Amino acid sequence: MRSRISWRWLARGRRWPDSKLNVVITFDDGYRNNLKYALPILDKYGVHAYYFITGIGSFERKLLWADALDIVSTLATENSKVHMAGKDYHLVNKGFIHRETNTPLRKSIKQSSISGYEEKNNLIEQLLSLYNFTGQNELNDYWQLMSNDEIALTGRSKNITIGSHGFFHNNLGALHHDDAIAEILKSKIYLENIIQKEVTTIGFPDGSYTVQLNEALNKSGFNKQFLVNYEFADDGILDYVYDRFGLYPYMGNANQILHKIIH
């Protein structure tokens, strides 16, 4: 379960004073564990959260490339090999790298300007040929995504706002501008057809964006846009853009992390 917290409240001045820390809880990717574990707690305590969901749940194989890479990198045999974009990447110390340049596979993927998901889907198939973890029930919580029916169920909760996380989980800031716009609008249509509500929020995959993209999306009705970190000088003055702080299982006790940040 990956979650992020935004420090700026979305309705500043309506309920909470600016002198106090106000946060918004967000969950990325559309994991089934968000439905299984997080939603019951949010509903129990009446806490609102944003779920940013990709379109990968509409695929026959509902699996994000990053999860396949993480799990196989941990469990596959050392020196295993995959091929992507004309280069071989070998597994060395639980990470796939291009030996000639010492470039991590993950970095190459994030910097790619290739739109769609064909290249990444091919990579997933290669990774599963090295170590197919999809039949191991104990790993399901780490990678399984919600189906369309589960997204619809989640969207009916009064405590959840569903937003776009791109359709293919590409790094949108690395894509050509028109390709990025097309992917986001594809995601918007996909989600709106499922939840029967308008989608006006986006959480950028990996926090990758451009100011040009922010402005175009705002004109298209995306009036709340969640980043990870501000990358450009004027981000902080845009009233529809919000930075976030990621919380991950490997970081330990989230309460301790938040206490450290707040104090």
| Least confident interval from 27-41, 122-136, 197-211, 245-259 | 245-259
Q: 225 — phi, psi (to 5°)? A: -125, 120
- pTM for this prediction: 0.87
For 176, phi then psi, to 5°, come to -60, 145
Alpha-helical (H) ranges within 131-248 are 140-143, 148-155, 177-195, 211-219
> Which residue type occupies 97?
I
How far apart are alpha carbons 67 and 57 in whole angstroms? 14
User: Is the separation of the CB atoms in 23 and 6 below 8 Å?
Assistant: yes
How far is 20 from 41, CA to CA, in rounded Å?
A: 24
Tell me the two tokens of residue 173: 């800031």
- Residue-wise pLDDT for 58-71, tens only, equals 998 999 999 999 99
CA distance 244 to 51: 14
Residues 66-96 pLDDT 10s: 999 999 999 999 999 999 999 999 999 999 9
Structure token digits, residue 195: 């939840």
Q: Which domains does the chain have, with CATH numbers?
A: 3-60+144-262 (3.20.20.370), 65-140 (no CATH)
> Hey, what amino acid is at 58?
S
